[in-house]
A = this chain, B = another copy of it.
């Protein structure tokens, strides 16, 4: 209908995006109208949003496919922390004017690849460009049976504290761009035991733990020697330095969760997931956090950094 060339070019990108997206019955209306329509009778929607910015969450010059992958991955990790089944994503992107079509497609390819792996449909979005650096915002919708979402506020004194995988060194090794969100692990854990409280480690164990304790109104003792340290943390560091890295590096995107000692023993005996599960401490009634290290108990200081709300 007589589009001038510049709008035709943008439309081709949008049409290309629309062609990449698969169908899911919960998405009654997807890309192409003023809004999209989601419907999942009998289920709750679990919704999270994360914004990634150049120079903060990824370095300038990073492969656009890895940036897209991370933007989807951090949101999938949030849904994993609730025990939800990922379903539909809305993508807001601000492209630098220097981004040509092939770099834009590479960015979306990274998003789509992880979306497909977890059966996520791209249900809508907004694509802009400007003179500034790259920004990606993803709002991800997951599904849950009513009342079954795992929140941060259910930890009980006496609970054992677990983490999946190993911690530290993620930013230096670039693992923060390639990590596997623990969506399937979370759902397997939820099926096999009663998880009292869970979150995903984005700012670092030494910071995120306090969110869970504060919301649950409890404290904790962490066993420093038990905390699994990732091989990405240099082995040349001292044990204390390596522990500090595991506590404060952040961007691990592993799960931190609390279960009864009985459930914890079951998990250690017959783990329902292939990723390592490690008991790293215990929840206490006293509302303070301590670290046992070298045989003595010291107050755990909040480390890492935090800038998020609601996700």
Q: What is A's interface to B at a CB cutoff of 8 Å?
A: 1-4, 6-7, 10-11, 14, 17-18, 28-39, 41-42, 44-51, 53-56, 78-79, 81-82, 84, 90-94, 123-133, 135, 137, 139, 141-142, 144, 146, 149, 151-153, 198-200, 207, 210, 213-215, 287-289, 299, 301-302, 305-311
Contacts and interface: CB of A to CB of B under 8 A. Distances in A.
8 contacts: A7-B306, A33-B152, A35-B311, A39-B45, A49-B139, A126-B311, A127-B307, A128-B307
B92 A92 contact: yes
Given A133-B132, A135-B94, A302-B2, A35 B48 contact: yes
Given A1-B213, A130-B53, A309-B125, A38 B45 contact: yes
B33 A1 contact: no
Contacts of A11: 306
A309 B128 contact: no
Contact of A152 (B34, B81, B305): B34
Closest 9 CB pairs of A and B: A124-B310, A35-B48, A34-B81, A137-B137, A51-B92, A14-B309, A139-B139, A31-B310, A38-B45
B135 A299 contact: no
A130 B35 CA distance: 30
Nearest to A84: B35
Nearest to A209: B1
Nearest to A200: B34
Given A36-B310, A137-B137, 15 more contacts: A1-B289, A3-B210, A7-B302, A33-B310, A34-B79, A34-B82, A37-B82, A37-B144, A41-B42, A53-B130, A92-B137, A125-B309, A125-B310, A126-B311, A132-B132
A36 B48 contact: yes
A151 B29 contact: yes
Contacts of A135: 51, 53, 94, 132, 135
Contacts of A39: 44-45, 146
B50 A92 contact: yes
A202 B45 CA distance: 29
Nearest to A51: B92
A224 B56 CA distance: 50
